[in-house]
Structure 1
Amino acid sequence: MDQTPIDRLSDRQKECLRLVWRHQSSKDIARQLGISPHTVDDYLRKAIRTLDAADRIDAAWRLHEAENGTPQSLMLQPRPVAEPLFSAAIASADEADAWGMAGHGKDSSGNNSTSEQAPYVPLPRPETGERNGLSASQKLARIGAMGMIWTGIAIAATGGLAALKYLIR
């Protein structure tokens, strides 16, 4: 019987992908597993290649789906996407249970968990390999707008300091 791409992953690659799914950086994963960040990145690169994934998040999503499946109630709903600026950074206990992440924040009886892991927030799954769908001109326009905002803040702060200096005299 042929092995699936998930079956061809090593245990260490799977461990690294599970930690990526929990929003851990390479440095955090390395610290937790007692290996170097370079080794973590190497495991992740090989896992991405084995799974033919776009990036580490896509590979972590594929492993998560293979190990946990998609919950019945969410099968027809779109994949989760982190909200802008992580306004809902902490998933409720119901969401955590729905995604097979019971024990993050509350245990099965509803009591606060003693686990010190970060709260679970589903990562967006990239469909293309791009980080976002903005064109180059849209990105430049946003950068320009941000520059104008920061310039305005700097001018306002400078004016406030000048006024304060005048009042202190």
Structure 2
Amino acid sequence: MAPTPIDRLSDRQKECLRLVWRHQSSKDIARHLGLSPHTVDDYLRKAIRTLDAADRIDAARRLHEAEVATPQSLMLQPQIVAEAAFFNAVSPPDKADAWGMAGHGQDGLGDISTGEPAPLVPLPRPQTGERNDLSATQKLARIGAMGMIWTGVAIAAAGGLAALKYLIR
């Protein structure tokens, strides 16, 4: 039997894709795995190419779907349980269905007796074409407020530099 594209992924590529599926940035993945962000990006680029995916999220989704069809290893359980607890903490109990936690216990941690984790939350895809509901006046007010904030920051910075110059004399 010929190996599937998933089978051709290295263990490190799979680890990186699993962490992408869990909403981690390259910097966070690098910190977690003890690698540099550039190395993580390299693993992800190669995985995207191997899977012929559109992007890192698509590649992570493909790996996730392949692994859901087969049992996941137990070494991933603690992180999955911790993330389910996080999503349960930030999501009110009545929103458990929106996080995909329905039917996995009230705490959203999954079925501990069988070791089955709660499903992970898929990464949101940006939607294009959304309209801004602010009126022109509201937009100008926000632009003006931001201008005042940046003016204040510039004045504070200039004052700090003037004070530093005075102290150095």
* TM-score category of the 2 structures, normalised to the smaller one: 0.5 to 0.7
Partner of 2:60: 60
Q: Tell me, which stretches of 5 or more residues in structure 1 are unaligned?
A: 71-88, 111-118, 126-130, 159-169
**Runs of 4+ with deviation above 3 angstroms:** 93-99, 131-134, 145-150, 153-158
**Preserved contact between residue 48 and residue 54 of structure 1 (Cα < 8 Å):** yes
CA–CA distance in structure 2, aligned partners of residues 48 and 157 of structure 1: 39
SS of aligned partner of 1:24 = coil
Q: Confirm whether residue 151 of structure 1 aligns to residue 140 of structure 2.
A: yes
CA–CA distance in structure 1, aligned partners of residues 96 and 64 of structure 2: 19
Q: TM-score, normalised by structure 2?
A: 0.54
Q: 1:133 to 1:24 in 2, by over 3 A?
A: same
Which residue type is aligned with residue 140 of structure 2?
Answer: T
Aligned length: 119
How far did 1:121 drift?
Answer: 2.6
Partner of 1:38: 38
CA–CA distance in structure 2, aligned partners of residues 157 and 10 of structure 1: 47
Higher relative contact order (CA 8 A, sep 6+): 1
How far did 1:124 drift?
Answer: 3.9
Identity %, equivalent residues: 61
**Preserved contact between residue 93 and residue 106 of structure 1 (Cα < 8 Å):** no
Partner of 1:115: none
Partner of 1:74: none
Q: 1:35 to 1:108 in 2, by over 3 A?
A: same
Q: Tell me, which stretches of 5 or more residues in structure 2 are unaligned?
A: 71-89, 114-118, 148-169
Partner of 1:10: 10
